[in-house]
């Protein structure tokens, strides 16, 4: 994205993976909308982190993108389709939400089974996804035998096994300890570098957002609205050293300041 490059009229940019037009959401007709009309475009392959104080509509935004919830007005397209119709979307929840009665392998296959993917193909994708998250040898384990971090890896593998073009993540590492959280973040970036899905990652952690994202959206509450749309120009690959990079630290401080400014509770 060099601003100096003159763009030729004949070159059309690729259509955005995610497009929101005047999308709003309210739960109660009289109350302040959870999300004021929002315009947003996210390009294919972008890693977008969404930050904001509670009540800013982060999770609402994600649920709208997933098709789990319908906007009150406006419309959303993902790769040109309404979210509820596309098969190229995967969602990673706050909790691992594994089915306790299935072993790890069967959990990873769950979404494929729902889509009636043939058994051989299911097995191939299950093994590939488990290998990606480093749990190839735990396919026969049951969820209760796993640590919190391992459960989240399985949850991630379950999403990746669907070979998504868009991955929606709702504070997936929020319940994990910091070490595990950092490690999983690094691995998530490594997988992203290979697969280049579009990511929308909701988080409470500024450091996590800056480390992971190519772009950070800071939302402000009541009504939920876009306060800042920031690029993160840290070089890739990002790893443990990135966390000591002065540029990284400056960005964390900058974004923290902006986040505090939009949070009425912190004022």
Partner 1 sequence: MNPRVLRWLLPLVLAALLLAGWQTLHHSLSPSRRFLLPSLPQLAEAFRVHGPALLLAARHTALAALGGFALAAFVAAGASLLLASSNLVRATLYPYLMGLQMVPIIIIAPILILWVGPGAPSVILVTFLITFFPLVVNTTQGLLSVDRAHLDLFRMGRAARWQELLLLRAPAALPYFFTGLRISAILAPIGALTADYLVGTSSGGRLGLGMSALLFSARNEIPALYATALVGCVLGFALVAAVSGLSWLVLHRWHDSYSPGDSDK
Residues that bind partner 1 (CB under 8 A): 66-68, 87, 89-91, 93-95, 97, 99-102, 110-111, 113-115, 142-144
Taking the least distance from each CB to partner 1, the nearer of 88 and 254 is 88
DSSP E strands in the chain: the ranges are 18-25, 35-42, 47-51, 73-78, 89-92, 166-170, 198-202, 215-220, 225-231
Q: Strand, helix or coil at 230?
A: strand
Rounded CA separation 181/255 (Å): 20
Q: What are phi and psi of 251, to 5 degrees?
A: -65, -40
Closest approach, Cβ 11 to partner 1, in A, equals 36
Cβ contact 133:153 at 8 Å: yes
Closest approach, Cβ 197 to partner 1, in A, equals 15
Distances, alpha carbon 253 to alpha carbons 6, 27, 154, 249, in Å: 33, 34, 33, 6
Taking the least distance from each CB to partner 1, the nearer of 37 and 86 is 86
Closest approach, Cβ 69 to partner 1, in A, equals 10
Closest approach, Cβ 259 to partner 1, in A, equals 27
Taking the least distance from each CB to partner 1, the nearer of 113 and 231 is 113
Closest approach, Cβ 90 to partner 1, in A, equals 8
Taking the least distance from each CB to partner 1, the nearer of 9 and 100 is 100
Q: State the first-to-last Cα distance of the chain, in angstroms, to the nearest integer.
A: 35
């Amino acid at each position: 994205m060099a601003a100096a490059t003159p763009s030729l009229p004949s070159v059309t940019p690729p259509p955005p993976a995610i497009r929101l037009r005047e999308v709003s959401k309210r739960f109660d007709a009289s109350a302040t909308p959870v999300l004021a009309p929002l315009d947003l475009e996210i390009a294919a392959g972008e890693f977008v982190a969404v930050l904001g104080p509670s009540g800013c509509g982060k999770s609402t935004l994600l649920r709208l993108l997933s098709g789990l919830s319908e906007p009150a007005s406006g419309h959303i397209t993902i790769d040109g389709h309404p979210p509820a119709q596309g098969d190229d979307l995967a969602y990673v929840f706050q909790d691992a939400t594994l089915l306790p009665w299935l072993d790890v392998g069967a959990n990873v296959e769950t979404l494929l089974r729902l889509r009636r993917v043939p058994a051989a193909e299911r097995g191939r994708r299950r093994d590939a996804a488990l290998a990606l998250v480093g749990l190839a040898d735990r396919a026969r384990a049951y969820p209760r035998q796993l640590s919190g971090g391992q459960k989240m890896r399985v949850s991630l593998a379950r999403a990746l096994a669907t070979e998504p073009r868009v991955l929606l993540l709702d504070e997936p590492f929020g319940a994990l300890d910091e070490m595990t959280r950092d490690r999983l973040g690094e691995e998530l970036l490594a997988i992203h570098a290979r697969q280049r899905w579009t990511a929308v990652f909701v988080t409470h952690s500024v450091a996590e957002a800056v480390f992971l994202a190519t772009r950070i959206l800071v939302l402000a509450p009541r009504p939920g609205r876009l306060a800042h749309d920031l690029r993160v120009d840290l070089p890739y690959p990002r790893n443990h050293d990135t966390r000591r990079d002065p540029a990284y630290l400056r960005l964390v401080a900058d974004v923290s300041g902006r986040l505090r400014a939009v949070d009425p509770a912190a004022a």
